[in-house]
Structure 1
Amino acid sequence: MGTELQKMGLSENEPPEIWNINKPDYVVKIHRAYFESGAKAVTTNTFGANRIKLAEYGLVNRLEDINAAGVRLAREAVGEKGFVVGSIGPLGVFIEPLGDLSFDEAYDIFYEQARALIRAGADAIILETMSDLGEIRAALLAAKDAGDISVIASMTYAERERTLTGTDPETAAVVLESLGAHAVGVNCSGGPKELEKVVEILCRATNLPVLVEPNAGMPELINGRTMFKETPQSMANYSKKFVSLGAVMVGSCCGSTPEHTAAIAGELQGLKPNHRSRLFPLRAAGRSRTEKIGHNCFPVIIGERINPTGKKYLADEIREGKTKVIKADAISKEKAGAHLLDVNVGVPGVDEPALMKAAVQAVQSTVNAPLVLDSSNPCTLEAGLKAYHGKAVVNSVTAETESLKKILPLVKRYGAAVIGLCLDERGIPESAEERLKAAARILEYAQDLGIPSKDLIIDCLTLAVSAEPRSALVTLESIELVRKILGLPTVLGVSNISFGLPMRSVLNRAFLTAALERGLDAAIINPLDTDMLDAFYAGAMIAGRDKNAEHYVARFSQTVNEKKGESQVKDKELPSDKEPKMHPLMEAVIRGDRENITSLVEKSLDEKINPMDILDKYLIPALEEVGRKYEKGEYFLPQLMLSADAMQEAFKRLKPELERVEKRYRGTVVLATVKGDIHDIGKNIVAIMLKNHGFNVVDLGKNIPNETIIEAAQREKAEVIGLSALMTTTMPRMGEIIDIIKKNNLPFKVIVGGAAVTERYAREIGADGYGKDAVAAVNIVSKLMEGKI
């Protein structure tokens, strides 16, 4: 739609959506052209018709009218023979913890637009070109709440089949399916070749209908015109491949024309999609990782002890609203081998829901492991479920009627999995058969609410054998019954077995291996206990749960190598540490520990470390390491931004000290999004990264005229100008600015970037550098300042 509107004269100073009001005939004409070319459905011209985007043009008061007109015009074009799909795009800002927008605020904005589209008669809603899993979760819930309508949830992927914020296609499918999407998909993201792997993964990860809408290649500006290189026939050839992979809805996105649609429709004529009917285990997901539990999968470890019970230091920190220890615990347990992490903030006399939200945001920003939210308080659970950007496991629900009524509706609404405890109003059943009945009751209630059995895992309960000598046998029998009769996976908190006895760890290990042999799928244990971990991997192999001893060999090959390394170190009489301990300041930047980095700077200053050394030896190298991790795909945008935030806090404290010690000038960079373009997320990230590397940054904002940018660079005596443009229609402004600089022999170097900008285009317009992303931009600016380019 956007490309076709541009051909008809859409100005860079107006949003496409306003043509629903001002030039409706053109919109109808475009819809009709695609429909008559073979499209079965058209998406409304409402992609950016949300409150935040419309505010940029002073059009918030027209929101209802613009969305309603979008539906009406599409219906006029296709009549009753075609489907009208209401288009909802991203908000253009990040939600917490990456940005300032709360989950509830994002939900309200999406709800407002979805309701307008549904009231106007849309047949379905598509959430498209989403890059943040947290944002699309809010959008999906809002769209479903706005009316009884099918919702397609589509994300856009970049390099390594990851979204901008690091989500892989499997994780997206798991989270969106659990939240109730009627179909999932991928759109935009480059040409059809770039989407082939994404479609393949999506189709393996879900039985839901899968949609694919590639661009007609990446846009290029040739002789002042936006060109897309994919021909109608090449797009049609790929569409057949998509169907063979399992896609059931095939279309096209940016740069495609009615001719592309006609070719695709012709190629798909008479084809039937492949039937997909896979059985999936329970799946829990973080933002960028999915873990599978049960259904013949290798057992998993749920890391315990992020729990204030019996830990005064953690309880005190939680009361103070801090998360330093929680984050450190999460990092250490994931590194030690936990597949999931249990999070509990239950401390008397605190605002537990607020603390659960803070803890979830802190932990999910620090580790990739999926989270188990541990509370019996519905308000606390809901706060955590809203804050979480993945598919959590709720710990827990019982077979008591009150618990079932309070907990399971939250599980259903937020697409979580849940641990069911085998206890009811009478307490903990004494026999395995009675525990089975409690589990069956939970299953029945869950299924009545529409929660699939694959999202339920049963805790058969571990009691202290010191008090109940037969309790271990009852628990083991219960595991077998639940698995065989109900077909559900099981979980245990293992260490309860040894309460009140000496040498607890010995008994814990023995019970764990016995439980694994009976079919235990998830063990809640302390992953920092290496003997317990050894027992876990050995027990899983002996129980026949480790195909080809793959996990056992990986575990103990690593251990043997480490021990060899230790012995070699001892022989040479060197320190036993395998690598030098990282300075706490570096660690804080790399982990994004904004909360504690100021105190670490204070400590370093108290130790008489030169402020310049703090910056040059610790902070800058740490940020460079974050950049390297980002480039290698180990870190994604969330980690990059958190590290940048931590660096900003450190620099804020260090700045007055640096000014007293030495006036050091790394150079001034003027940044701007060019005239006619209101997109600035990428430019804002570049600004943060440049500031953290010690550059003086003058950020002019977005939609900035050429003359204003040049004048600012002259006024600020800048060495470098950084220009951003998202749309091909605004990219020419970059070339115009460079021409002005060269014509007037001005001393500025220019670096360019943006979604549609390529290295080739940067060379063609005479730019001095191309910033593919924020990390690349910093590297290029550094080289420009040093005269290396």
Structure 2
Amino acid sequence: MNVRDFIKDNILIFDGAMGTMLQQKGLKIGENPEIFGFENPDKLLEIHKSYLDAGSNVITTNTFGANELKLEKLGYTVEKIVDNAVKVAKKAINKSQNINNKFVALDMGPIGEMLEPMGTLSFDRAYEIFKRQAIQGEKSGADLIIIETMMDLYEAKAAVLAAKENTNLPVFCTMTFDENGRSFTGCLPESMVLTIEGLGVDAVGVNCSLGPKQLLPIVERIAKMTKVPVVVQANAGLPNIVDGQATYDVDAEEFYKGVKNFVKVGASIIGGCCGTDPSFINKISNNLDELKKVNVEKVNKCFVCSPSKVVEIKAPTVMGERLNPTGRKSLQDAIKNRNFDYIINLGLEQINGGAEILNVNVGIPNIEEEKFMPMVIKEIQSVIDTPLQVDSSNIDVLEQGLRYYNGKTIVNSVNGKEESLSKILPIVKKYGSCVVGLTLDENGIPKTAKGRFNIAKKIVDKAISYGINKEDIFIDCLSLTVSAQQSEAMATIECIKMIKEELGVKTILGVSNVSFGVPNRKALNSTYLTMALANGLDLPIINPNEDSMMEVINSFKVIKNIDKNCINYISKYANVVNNKDINTRQNNKEKLSVEQIIERGLKEEIKEVIPNILKSQSENEVIEEILIPTLDKIGKKYENGEIFLPQLIQSAETVKVALDILKVSLQSKSESIEQKGKIIVATVKGDIHDIGKNIVKIMLENYGYDVLDLGKDVDIDVIVEEAKNRNIKLIGLSALMTTTVRSMKETIEAIRKEGLDAKVFVGGAVLTSEYAKEIGADYYSKDAKSSIEIAKTNLR
């Protein structure tokens, strides 16, 4: 029986931790786990066999970090390491007591570098790295691929696409989440499910990060959303560090109780992560009769998402129409000139006006739309967390938009023409997006509601035949201008009602088309919107900065009992005077403060603003009185979960642009920015992850500190020597892996032994404040914001 068949009706048991087992077999601090397994195949074989004998159905290859960035600098190839790891795992199965229903999972973990826009690694480069691993895994005989411990949804998407497009293996994918239900980069469990399940994986879930008790609420959220099996590989509780080793507070008995709860809420693929060993797996296997697959009632609703925001589409959900260059000269100029700040601001204005989704169209003459669409999407998503709709008449542009969008989006659009259906629907299915169907075909747009309905039915039936979920299909009954086709205006309204009643799918409509060519367009638009909503329109595409349109939306929500107790309506219109909102903003360009520019990550705008401020304030006053207080406010928002890592980084990068301008200005006066002190940051020996360390560096530099970044996998002697030679007073050490926490302790011991007059702060996913004290660190830094406070305390 293959894996896909087995998981239909059975509980599938994975193995437990690998890193700590390798340490027990002799893996030293700083040694590469994958190379250690390659050079000690018998020891690796023993580990696999112990898990198989304990009752695992699946053993995971020792390839978590077997990517080319990590291996090639050590003189090994991905192909050699992966091939050996798979073959050792296969050999372990052949030597086990029972070889039935035993499978080898190729393990693919994070690359260790941040993807754009948060980092410098491109999506395409990440894809190629994962592709190489996946291809070799299939060649060597792996039965499935598990992509695990992902913290960034975008990286997870790159890995899944690489596996799906280059192998025929089943693919499982898990991410890590904290107790607040967010990944390190701010991703929600629901966003993971919507995005990753949509790519066609065989199972989704969560691993690492937390123990069984803490993970249970997250598992429940995942199980309700997904239609594929749920994977859970929890840690053995929360870590404690003893003598540089991570130990955990949950034993096999308590872990099994947690597993029972996972299965009760819908999980059916179970294993262990950090701190677990064969005894944990044996406890599950011996009690397998108690574990029965549960059919959880699923959430069959329509959602779109970005990593950090999920929007349910129900009547009425507002889509902003203004990121479409048709008839908008200023937007056309912004696209031609690649003025991304203008585009982002236009998006933000619509969100402030009430848009819950933004339509994005970049189609103008003489532009490479296929290249520009993903570029615009990346720029928007670096600042804005509102979901987007990809809008183009070009199939290649639509696919590029889908590929590089981070989350679940909507494709606008397909129509009733056979060519359109056969080319676009497979792309929609591949990327798991929603789709808009236009009620036109080879014969144009029917004049009657019935004619349009027939095309709609054809589109819906065809989409469902491709495996697209019914709840992800939207029909656009097409509003035509009354200046030319007045008699057909009501056909659109009638068709909306027919589709809602007879097809049961969502409807979408570009409302303002109705008023082209006539005066007082606002009156027509708002009236038409009211009629469409009353007949079942779910997703109006409108200008949310038009007060009359949003008045209709807000009023409709009151009358339909959506806005309970009129709370939103009263809040919105409490200050209306003489039927005119005193806060009404005209279409004039919004005047942004420096704080808003930084928070929005508008690098071009900060370049314009800083020189003007310098006319009345000195460079150091700008830093101390404007930039740093603004960073403090943004840091507080990040701390409170109001913004997330991508937005924090964009804000920090915008401040960096401002600082560069200030430095140039001071150099012209033969002066310099006041430096507050020197700091070393480094990822400790044996650890190749530098995500957190890089963020800390950016933030510290923005606060005026001189930061020496020694990189990742840094020898202890290098850290000590640099600190000694440069008279460093503050050292920041980072570690993300449980196998390298001891290296952090040894680094601090070396610093103390040398007698350096330096304070040490430590951070990383597996660390705690208790561990920081135990290993002799002066401070524990849970995030970039806390590192600033530590610096302020020690470097005045």
Find the partner of 2:77 among 60, 85, 91.
60
1:649 aligns with 2:662: no
Q: Find the counterpart in structure 1 of residue 773 from structure 2.
A: 763
1:3 aligns with 2:3: no
Cα 1:107–1:541 shift into 2, 3 Å: same
Q: Find the counterpart in structure 2 of residue 558 from structure 1.
A: 571
Greater CA drift, 198-207 or 115-124: 115-124
Structure 1: distance between partners of 2:777 and 2:748: 7
Map 1:625-640 onto structure 2 (within 5 A): 625-640=633-648
Structure 2: distance between partners of 1:145 and 1:741: 48
Higher RCO structure, 1 or 2 (CA under 8 Å, sep 6+): 2
Equivalent pair of 1:106/1:139 in contact (CA under 8 Å): yes
Structure 1: distance between partners of 2:167 and 2:178: 32
- Cα RMSD after superposing both structures: 2.4
SS in 2 for 1:731: helix
Map 1:415-430 onto structure 2 (within 5 A): 415-430=432-447
Q: Find the counterpart in structure 2 of residue 538 from structure 1.
A: 555
1:390 is displaced (CA, Å) by 0.6
Structure 2: distance between partners of 1:583 and 1:718: 40
Map 1:146-165 onto structure 2 (within 5 A): 146-165=166-185
Equivalent pair of 1:283/1:291 in contact (CA under 8 Å): yes
Equivalent pair of 1:132/1:163 in contact (CA under 8 Å): yes
Find the partner of 1:122 among 139, 142, 152.
142
With structure 2 as the length reference, what TM-score do the two structures score?
Answer: 0.92
Q: Find the counterpart in structure 1 of residue 3 from structure 2.
A: none
Cα 1:675–1:325 shift into 2, 3 Å: same
Greater CA drift, 454-463 or 759-768: 759-768
Equivalent pair of 1:72/1:120 in contact (CA under 8 Å): no
Q: Find the counterpart in structure 2 of residue 134 from structure 1.
A: 154
Greater CA drift, 349-358 or 334-343: 349-358
Q: Which amino acid aligns with 2:604?
A: E
Q: Find the counterpart in structure 1 of residue 121 from structure 2.
A: 101
SS in 2 for 1:161: coil
Q: Find the counterpart in structure 1 of residue 7 from structure 2.
A: none
Structure 1: distance between partners of 2:629 and 2:370: 37
Cα 1:204–1:729 shift into 2, 3 Å: closer
Structure 2: distance between partners of 1:463 and 1:771: 59
4+ runs deviating over 6 angstroms: 566-570
SS in 2 for 1:672: strand
Find the partner of 1:274 among 284, 289, 294.
294
Greater CA drift, 652-661 or 483-492: 652-661
SS in 1 for 2:104: strand
Find the partner of 2:608 among 595, 599, 615.
599
Cα 1:74–1:490 shift into 2, 3 Å: farther
Map 1:371-520 onto structure 2 (within 5 A): 371-520=388-537
Measured against aligned partners, the alpha-carbon deviations of 1:172-205 in whole angstroms (never above 9, x if no partner) come to 1111121111111000012112211110100111
Cα 1:167–1:727 shift into 2, 3 Å: closer
Measured against aligned partners, the alpha-carbon deviations of 1:283-326 in whole angstroms (never above 9, x if no partner) come to 21112112222xxx342011111111222111111101221111
Q: Find the counterpart in structure 2 of residue 14 from structure 1.
A: 31
Gap runs ≥5 in structure 2:
1-17
Map 1:649-668 onto structure 2 (within 5 A): 649-658=657-666, 660-661=670-671, 664-668=674-678
Structure 2: distance between partners of 1:36 and 1:386: 42
Cα 1:271–1:710 shift into 2, 3 Å: closer
Q: Which amino acid aligns with 2:397?
A: T
Cα 1:744–1:372 shift into 2, 3 Å: closer
Equivalent pair of 1:166/1:636 in contact (CA under 8 Å): yes
Gap runs ≥5 in structure 1:
571-575
Map 1:285-324 onto structure 2 (within 5 A): 285-293=305-313, 297-324=314-341
Number of aligned positions between the proteins: 770
Structure 2: distance between partners of 1:625 and 1:452: 43
1:360 is displaced (CA, Å) by 0.5
Equivalent pair of 2:620/2:673 in contact (CA under 8 Å): no
Equivalent pair of 2:86/2:104 in contact (CA under 8 Å): no
1:469 is displaced (CA, Å) by 2.5
Q: Find the counterpart in structure 2 of residue 679 from structure 1.
A: 689
Structure 1: distance between partners of 2:489 and 2:592: 46
Measured against aligned partners, the alpha-carbon deviations of 1:550-588 in whole angstroms (never above 9, x if no partner) come to 2x7232121244459x99999xxxxx99xxx99633222
Measured against aligned partners, the alpha-carbon deviations of 1:695-730 in whole angstroms (never above 9, x if no partner) come to 001111122232321221122222211112223443
Structure 2: distance between partners of 1:223 and 1:752: 16
Structure 2: distance between partners of 1:674 and 1:783: 24
1:667 is displaced (CA, Å) by 0.6
Measured against aligned partners, the alpha-carbon deviations of 1:631-675 in whole angstroms (never above 9, x if no partner) come to 001111111111121122221221133453455230100112222
Equivalent pair of 1:29/1:77 in contact (CA under 8 Å): no
Q: Which amino acid aligns with 1:586?
A: E
Equivalent pair of 2:83/2:137 in contact (CA under 8 Å): no
Structure 2: distance between partners of 1:398 and 1:494: 18
SS in 1 for 2:509: strand
Q: Find the counterpart in structure 1 of residue 9 from structure 2.
A: none
1:454 is displaced (CA, Å) by 2.2
Cα 1:442–1:74 shift into 2, 3 Å: farther
1:136 is displaced (CA, Å) by 0.9
1:621 aligns with 2:634: no
1:147 is displaced (CA, Å) by 2.3
Equivalent pair of 1:3/1:255 in contact (CA under 8 Å): yes
With structure 1 as the length reference, what TM-score do the two structures score?
Answer: 0.93
1:119 is displaced (CA, Å) by 2.1
Q: Find the counterpart in structure 2 of residue 573 from structure 1.
A: none
SS in 2 for 1:236: helix
SS in 2 for 1:469: helix
Find the partner of 1:246 among 266, 269, 275.
266
Map 1:24-103 onto structure 2 (within 5 A): 24-60=41-77, 62-69=80-87, 71-76=89-94, 78=96, 79-103=99-123
Cα 1:90–1:742 shift into 2, 3 Å: closer
Structure 2: distance between partners of 1:503 and 1:510: 12
Cα 1:403–1:583 shift into 2, 3 Å: closer
Equivalent pair of 2:224/2:297 in contact (CA under 8 Å): no
Q: Which amino acid aligns with 2:626?
A: Y
Q: Which amino acid aligns with 1:72?
A: K
1:180 aligns with 2:200: yes
Cα 1:513–1:349 shift into 2, 3 Å: same
The sequence identity of aligned pairs, in percent, is 41
Greater CA drift, 488-497 or 86-95: 86-95
Structure 2: distance between partners of 1:350 and 1:598: 26
Structure 2: distance between partners of 1:135 and 1:143: 12
1:540 is displaced (CA, Å) by 4.2
Equivalent pair of 1:140/1:151 in contact (CA under 8 Å): yes
Greater CA drift, 465-474 or 250-259: 465-474
1:366 aligns with 2:383: yes
Equivalent pair of 2:34/2:81 in contact (CA under 8 Å): no
Structure 2: distance between partners of 1:431 and 1:322: 43
Q: Find the counterpart in structure 1 of residue 304 from structure 2.
A: 284
Structure 2: distance between partners of 1:133 and 1:666: 36
1:364 is displaced (CA, Å) by 1.4
Cα 1:431–1:387 shift into 2, 3 Å: same
Equivalent pair of 1:129/1:187 in contact (CA under 8 Å): yes
Q: Which amino acid aligns with 1:707?
A: D
1:694 is displaced (CA, Å) by 0.5
Cα 1:168–1:70 shift into 2, 3 Å: farther
Greater CA drift, 458-467 or 59-68: 59-68
Structure 1: distance between partners of 2:278 and 2:754: 44
